[in-house]
């Protein structure tokens, strides 16, 4: 079995644990490879404990930040398929992507709570059953779980679930110049 991109972070954490891996846009959050790997492992293990399977599609509706990066690596480590969502899209386009890709879980930023609530109200028009919100304590939407609380239920051990190196890593939709967005597929190894 080939390595997948999730194992890149594991290797970096072993080789350069104290080297800086992530700095947010404001410089207020800095993570070493070890810290980022531990956060990604916690999230990966929490997803596995919650029943996420290899090949399951998980949407991410966030700005570029630590939660996006750790979600991406966590999902790659366990063989789930990442579906990054463009926050500039309107709910109708997001609904199409969620339905078309088969997303069953959605991670979203607090600033997209209104959009997520609109998608949640649409009910069975999407396949999303589980909603994780990046929010301050007590500020999550009633239909969502706290991302941080969820992540912190997982252990820092490397997840035991592995996907083949040639499995699908992500489904990234392009802008639809002639209609709705289109999904090219991205393998884990190129």
Q: pLDDT tens digits for 99-119?
A: 999 999 999 999 999 999 999
Contact 143, 122 (CB under 8 A): no
Confidence (pLDDT) at 165: 67
* Per-residue pLDDT at 10: 95
40: domain CATH number is 3.40.50.12780
Closest CA to 115 of 104, 74, 126, 180: 126
Q: Where are the alpha helices (DSSP H) in 53-188?
A: 66-77, 91-101, 113-121, 147-151
Percentage of residues of the chain with pLDDT beyond 90: 74
pTM over 0.75: yes
Band (167; pLDDT cuts 50, 70, 90): confident
Torsion of CA 166, 168, 173, 179, to 10 degrees: 100
What is the percentage of the chain residues whose pLDDT exceeds 70? 93
Is residue 136 predicted with pLDDT exceeding 90? no
| Range of the structural domain that residue 76 is part of | 5-187
Burial of 18 (0-12, 13-18, 19+ CB in 10 A): exposed
Report how many domains make up the chain. Answer: 1
């Amino acid at each position: 079995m080939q390595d997948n991109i999730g194992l890149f972070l594991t290797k970096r954490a072993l080789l350069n644990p104290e080297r800086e891996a992530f700095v947010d846009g404001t410089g207020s959050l800095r993570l070493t490879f070890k810290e980022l790997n531990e956060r990604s492992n916690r999230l990966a293990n929490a997803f596995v404990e919650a029943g996420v399977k290899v090949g399951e599609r998980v949407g991410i509706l966030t700005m570029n930040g630590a939660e996006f990066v750790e979600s991406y690596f966590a999902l790659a480590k366990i063989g789930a398929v990442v579906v990054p969502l463009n926050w500039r899209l309107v709910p109708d386009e997001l609904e199409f992507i969620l339905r078309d890709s088969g997303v069953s879980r959605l991670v979203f930023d607090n600033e997209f709570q209104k959009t997520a609530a609109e998608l949640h109200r649409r009910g069975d028009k999407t396949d999303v059953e589980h909603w994780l919100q990046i929010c301050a304590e007590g500020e999550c939407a009633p239909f969502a779980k706290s991302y941080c609380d969820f992540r912190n239920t997982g252990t820092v051990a490397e997840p035991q679930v592995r996907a083949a190196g040639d499995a699908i890593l992500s489904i990234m939709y392009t802008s639809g110049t002639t209609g709705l967005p289109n999904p090219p597929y991205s393998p884990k190894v190129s």
